[in-house]
């Protein structure tokens, strides 16, 4: 995506308020907005809880053509 944002907060209530500010286009401490400056080859992986991650990509590579092609495109 061209536009990026980060919201930092201490609890759900604070994060909800900051997400609301982000959605409304308002400025708020702990809300950072940005845009892609150019094409790059960075890949960010958010594996969730982590316990399922060990070996998961290797298994998906073997059984999922869509996953395999997506990883090749990232490379």
Same domain as 32, residue 57: no
The residues that bridge with 31 in the sheet, in sequence order, are: 7
Q: Tell me what the mean pLDDT of segment 19-35 comes to.
A: 94
**pLDDT recorded at residue 53:** 66
Q: Which three-class secondary structure state does DSSP give residue 32?
A: strand
Same domain as 29, residue 56: no
Q: How many domains does the chain have?
A: 2
Same domain as 23, residue 13: yes
Same domain as 3, residue 30: yes
The boundaries of the domain holding residue 70 are: 41-75
User: pLDDT tens digits, residue range 41-72?
Assistant: 777 776 665 556 677 888 889 999 999 999 89
Q: Residue 72 CB: number of other CB atoms within 10 A? A: 9
**Terminal Cα-to-Cα distance of the chain (whole angstroms):** 18
**pLDDT recorded at residue 52:** 64
Same domain as 12, residue 46: no
Burial of 59 (0-12, 13-18, 19+ CB in 10 A): exposed
């Amino acid at each position: 995506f061209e536009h990026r944002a980060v919201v930092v907060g201490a609890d759900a209530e604070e994060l909800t308020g900051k997400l609301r500010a982000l959605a409304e286009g308002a400025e708020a401490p702990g809300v950072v907005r940005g845009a892609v400056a150019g094409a790059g080859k960075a890949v960010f992986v958010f594996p969730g809880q982590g316990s399922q991650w060990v070996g998961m990509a290797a298994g998906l590579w073997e059984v999922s053509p869509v996953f395999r092609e997506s990883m090749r495109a990232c490379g």
